[in-house]
């Protein structure tokens, strides 16, 4: 289709989206030409890198409100020319405090467009997709619950309906299949769609999801809170040395030396950071030999053991191998025990994500001093988070029967070296669904990914074929029995293997050949379940 002909169909009058419960405020439509984007795999999560070159598409934005709530939500769809459309539809997720319609979402949409998908994103009515300080609280200082509901799930269902509506009106027919792809907050959105809007998508890919949101959002601050409580902030090099020592010691628990920890449970049980106290290391922050301190070991142990509740119970901590300092992962550079020691005295550097959580959603005070929060106040606010946000934001309803009955398929992965969201939350949720729906494996599969950080990165290989496997499952019934991954070990050798749907795990056949050969790996049931938390540090 020529750009001139596309321009005649890419006009607001073509589109008249309607849905009970909201009022359309505006429809915009325009032709975008010569749009190019190099989309790296880490912005597609379960898909390889792709090039979008000189693309032409119809950009449609529908703005609407839920009457009486004074919100203003925008849904944006990118529609390729009819001859380039693959007759499929893809919704994309957001990240952090963003529902979508910002640079992360646009990157994923560019990848979808390159493959011929009509694709959609929503801003959920949030005025800022990075910082919640502009929308979290109303003028009266109360949490804006209408926008929180949009963010939690409602706008996601709206976007699917509106996006498919404009797709049908543009092409004259509905998409054959619809998919959703997201990670982190976008992963939680995928689960929210399966739970709250079970007929919205045929297939959902949801990576590293922020499930059990009240607890996990608080967990993001736990290592900083612990350092504040003990008034000790280690050099990042000390933390890195302990993490790297854990990887070295626990690397071959699966029988293969490849620079990653596959059995994170066993490593957690057997590796003691305190054994490194007193060792000398080269430290870039001091420019000289530095001794690993007892305080550094305590910070690592607390980060691994998990957030302590007032009654002595613990929430999931980070895994051995996760980048606690933010120094080991060159792309994300995000560590929950991050410190700044440039002045000679170390201070904590918290992620802005949990700072906003405590400041706006729990304390409900833009000026709340998160860094000065005593342990008693931390405990009070963590308890408040569970009381106020579990029903809306936890996203852990195990009853996926409506999603199953609608024919939906859900694939999920979580890195076992995730430095932001502990992987145990995804495992816990899968187990809860299994208790309720014993046929869970027929429609939902979860792939733990050894050595992978938050959504991407670290040493392990991301499952870049998983989205294509989801399509095969939806469209021809071929369920993913394993998913291939490729990465480099410490020596630079390329390693190929498979990751497996839980509760199976990858098993190397030592009689087969080289561990770098994926054909020497198979999926086997786990021999045992290990404790998820320690009772004490």
Residue 163 three-state SS = helix
Is 66 catalytic? The answer is no
* C-alpha–C-alpha distance, residues 393 and 40, integer Å: 30
Residues 6+ apart with CB under 8 A from 110: 35, 37, 39, 52
Instruction: Determine which one of 158, 251, 298, 418 is catalytic.
Output: 418
* C-alpha–C-alpha distance, residues 504 and 71, integer Å: 45
Is 454 catalytic? The answer is yes
* C-alpha–C-alpha distance, residues 218 and 334, integer Å: 16
Residues 6+ apart with CB under 8 A from 44: 50, 107, 108, 111, 181, 464, 467
Q: Would you tell me how many other CB atoms lie within 10 Å of the CB of residue 298?
A: 19
pLDDT in tens, 50-87: 999 999 999 999 999 999 999 999 999 999 999 999 99
Residues 6+ apart with CB under 8 A from 426: 208, 209, 211, 412, 414, 446, 448
Q: What is the pLDDT of residue 332?
A: 83
Of 441, 442, 475, 406, nearest in space to 197 by CA: 406
Query: What is the domain partition of the chain in residue ranges?
Result: 1-172, 222-349
Provide the pLDDT confidence category of residue 3 given band limits of 50, 70 and 90. Answer: low
Only one residue has tokens 């032409």, namely 56
* C-alpha–C-alpha distance, residues 215 and 223, integer Å: 14
pLDDT in tens, 279-333: 999 998 988 999 999 999 999 999 999 998 888 889 999 999 999 999 998 888 8
Residues 6+ apart with CB under 8 A from 374: none
Instruction: Determine which one of 184, 325, 412, 483 is catalytic.
Output: 184
β 50-65/504-508 pair status:
unpaired
Please measure the distance between the N-terminal and C-terminal CA atoms of the chain and give it in whole angstroms.
Answer: 65
* C-alpha–C-alpha distance, residues 266 and 264, integer Å: 6
DSSP 224-284: HHHHHHHT----HHHHHHHHHHHHHHHGGGGS--SSS-S-HHHHHHH--GGGGTT-EEEET
Residues 6+ apart with CB under 8 A from 251: 257, 258, 259, 260, 261
* Angle between helix 375-393 and helix 222-230 axes, rounded to 10 deg: 170
Handedness of CA 490, 492, 497, 502 (dihedral sign): positive
pLDDT in tens, 349-391: 999 999 999 999 999 999 999 999 999 999 999 999 999 999 9
Task: Evaluate whether 210 touches 421 at the Cβ level (below 8 Å).
Answer: yes
* C-alpha–C-alpha distance, residues 435 and 65, integer Å: 39
Judged by average pLDDT, the poorest of 194-208, 324-338, 406-420 is 324-338
Q: Is the confidence at residue 219, as pLDDT, over 90?
A: yes
Q: Is the confidence at residue 178, as pLDDT, over 60?
A: yes
Of 493, 457, 497, 463, nearest in space to 480 by CA: 463
Residue 149 three-state SS = helix
Q: Residues, the chain, total?
A: 537
Q: What is the pLDDT of residue 535?
A: 35
Residue 381 has which token pair? 């606010």
* Angle between helix 294-305 and helix 222-230 axes, rounded to 10 deg: 140
Helix, strand, coil share (%) of the chain residues, nearest 5 = 35, 20, 45
Instruction: Determine which one of 105, 178, 454, 482 is catalytic.
Output: 454
What are φ and ψ of residue 21, in 5° steps?
105, -10
**pLDDT higher for 8 or 123?**
123
Predicted structure pTM score: 0.95
Cα 230 vs. chain centroid, distance in angstroms?
30
* C-alpha–C-alpha distance, residues 97 and 125, integer Å: 12
Is 418 catalytic? The answer is yes
* Rounded mean pLDDT, 16-35: 90
Partners of 497 in beta bridges: 485
pLDDT in tens, 390-407: 999 999 999 999 999 999
Alpha-helical runs (H) found in 83-144: 103-114
Q: What is the pLDDT of residue 510?
A: 84
């Amino acid at each position: 289709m020529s750009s001139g002909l596309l321009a005649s169909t890419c006009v607001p009058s073509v589109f008249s989206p309607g849905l009970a419960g909201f009022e359309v405020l505006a429809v915009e439509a325009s032709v975008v030409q010569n749009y190019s984007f190099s989309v790296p795999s880490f912005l597609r999560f379960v898909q390889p890198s792709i090039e979008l070159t000189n693309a032409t598409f119809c950009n449609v934005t529908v703005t609407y409100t839920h009457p009486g709530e004074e919100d203003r939500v925008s849904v944006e769809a990118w529609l390729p020319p009819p001859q380039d459309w693959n007759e499929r539809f893809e919704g994309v997720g957001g990240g952090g405090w963003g529902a979508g319609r910002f640079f992360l979402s646009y990157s994923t949409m560019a990848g979808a467009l390159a493959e011929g998908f009509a694709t959609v994103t929503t801003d959920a009515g949030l005025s800022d997709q990075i910082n919640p300080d502009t929308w979290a609280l109303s003028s009266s200082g109360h949490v804006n619950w209408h926008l929180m509901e949009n963010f939690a799930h409602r706008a996601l269902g709206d976007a699917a309906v509106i996006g498919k509506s404009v797709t049908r009106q543009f092409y004259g027919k509905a998409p054959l299949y619809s998919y959703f792809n997201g990670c982190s907050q976008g992963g939680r959105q995928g689960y929210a769609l399966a739970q709250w809007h079970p007929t919205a998508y045929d297939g959902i890919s949801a990576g590293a999801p922020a499930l059990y949101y009240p607890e996990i959002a608080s967990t993001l601050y736990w290592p900083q809170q612990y350092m504040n409580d003990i008034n000790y902030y280690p050099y990042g090099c000390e933390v890195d040395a302990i993490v790297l020592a854990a990887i070295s010691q626990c690397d071959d628990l699966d029988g293969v030396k490849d620079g990653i920890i596959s059995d994170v449970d066993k490593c957690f049980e057997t590796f003691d950071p305190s054994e490194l106290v007193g060792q000398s290391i080269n430290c870039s922050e001091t420019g000289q030999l530095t001794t690993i301190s007892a305080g550094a070991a305590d910070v690592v142990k607390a980060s691994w053991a998990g957030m302590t509740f007032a009654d002595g119970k613990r929430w999931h901590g980070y895994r051995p191998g996760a980048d606690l300092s933010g120094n080991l992962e060159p792309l994300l550079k995000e560590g929950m025990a991050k410190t700044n020691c440039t002045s000679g005295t170390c201070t904590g550097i918290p992620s802005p994500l949990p700072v906003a959580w405590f400041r706006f959603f729990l304390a409900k005070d833009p000026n709340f001093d998160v860094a000065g929060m005593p342990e008693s106040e931390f405990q009070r606010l963590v308890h408040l988070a569970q009381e106020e946000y579990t029903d809306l934001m936890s996203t852990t309803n195990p009853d996926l029967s409506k999603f199953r009955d609608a024919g939906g398929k859900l694939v999920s992965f979580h890195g076992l070296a995730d430095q932001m969201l502990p992987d145990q939350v995804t495992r816990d949720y899968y187990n809860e669904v299994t208790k309720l729906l014993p046929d869970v494996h027929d429609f939902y599969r979860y792939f733990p990914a050894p050595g992978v950080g938050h959504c991407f990165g670290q040493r392990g290989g991301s499952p870049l074929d998983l989205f294509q496997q989801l399509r095969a499952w939806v469209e021809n019934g071929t369920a993913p029995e394993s998913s291939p991954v490729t990465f480099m070990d410490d020596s630079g050798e390329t390693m190929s293997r498979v990751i497996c749907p839980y509760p199976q795990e990858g098993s190397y056949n030592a009689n087969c050949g080289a561990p770098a050969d994926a054909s020497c790996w198979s999926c086997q049931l786990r021999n045992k379940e290990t404790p998820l938390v320690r009772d004490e540090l």
